[in-house]
A = this chain, B = another copy of it.
Amino acid sequence: MRDVFIVGVGLTEVGKRVDVALRDLAAEAVVKAMEDAGNEKPEAIVVGNMLSSLVEQENLAALIADHTGLRGVSGFKAEGACGSGGAALLAGYSLVSSGLFDKVLVVGIEKLHERPTPDTARGLAYAADADYELIYGISFAGLNALVMRYYMDKHNVTREEMAHWAVMMHENAYHNPYAQLRKKITLETVINSPVIADPVRLFDSCPLSDGAAAIMLVSEKYRKLNDTPVKVAGIGNALDSPDLSSRFELDRFIAAKLSTERALRMANVSINDVDVAEIHDAYSIVAAISIEEIGFAERGKAPKLWAEGRFRPGDKPVLNPSGGLKARGHPVGATGVYQVAEIAMQLRGDFPGLKVGGEVGLAQNIGGVGSNVTTVVLRR
């Protein structure tokens, strides 16, 4: 298996990006990533996206390649619900690692503000099981609410403990120029915010986001394109049932555990080696379970740890210095690419927000309610 390196990253500001077309937003990230990689062009592109069908556009690889001067390269779109960015990275990694290509650009793109919010909310639930869940009218927030209720009851977690996550994420995002929500909040902001799907409140949830991110993956031959290449030391993915009713335990994401184990084994590092991580906090409950499945906390203990002040800059590991999905934002199919780009920049030392440094970083991108999970381990 050939080694794969990150030699270029490009991020766009996350938010309500109705100022630009989908292809233009993608191009902004692509051009930045190519510039970061010494203006080198890729031989292939993989696009991570979930919901461009809502604007009647598929075939994004061809569309974005054409719009960025890359007509003739190879490529396709990779989709795994909210885990599409991670899926695209797995595809891109294997295209380089196999020797089929030496330079592959992975582009995550999502525009959720193109359609009225109810339509977008319905679209996000395509990650669930259409025949056994969506048909009953449940929303994606509603599914996460079921898990949150069960988890809080089972592990005696308080409303206040859960709320600390959002406060911490807003503190981190305050420094991140790409973040959607750059405003500090208090525990009261979270606890008194409107209920979306009991017990999920507005500030337990990530915002609706538009955004694009791009990463240039290369083989050994091209690692010198950047002064500080970052090695993709491990990558693991796992699938679980989209339908929650068929899960064995509602407070666990087995796919998150499996994908973490696969990525760590491949990277030959222990979870204790990880200095910094970006995890998938679409809801605070998802953050809790992700932290526990990765192994940063015992089962049922993550909220207690973060309420005590763990995972902040200065701790090991630092979690979500970007502000996470909660405050950086969650441009669905782009999120997994943002996370890995942010970790790469932390290890390089040039993340434009909170700098926490480190030698080993991890990113975990979760699709559905834990049904398609990709974990990536990076090494300086």
Contacts and interface: CB of A to CB of B under 8 A. Distances in A.
A1 B91 contact: no
Contacts of A357: none
A80 B77 contact: yes
A66 B1 CA distance: 29
B78 A91 contact: yes
A59 B239 CA distance: 10
The interface centre, meaning the residue of A58, A63, A126, A241 with most chain B CB atoms within 10 A of its CB, is A58
A195 interface: no
Contacts of A255: 72
A59 B127 CA distance: 5
Given A77-B78, A94-B95, A56 B239 contact: no
A268 to B, nearest CB: 15
A139 interface: no
Would you call the interface of chain A mostly helix, strand, loop, or mixed? mixed
A61 B98 contact: no
Contacts of A57: 126, 129-131, 134
B368 A59 contact: yes
B95 A56 contact: no
A90 B53 CA distance: 22
Nearest to A45: B239
B55 A53 contact: no
A74 interface: yes
A66 B239 CA distance: 8
A76 B71 contact: no
Contacts of A72: 238-240, 254-255, 258
Interface string A64-76: 0110001111111
A239 B372 contact: no
Nearest to A82: B59
Interface string A20-50: 0101000000000000000000001100001
B241 A1 contact: no
> Which 4 pairs show the lowest CB-CB distances between chains A and B?
A76-B87, A53-B53, A98-B98, A97-B98
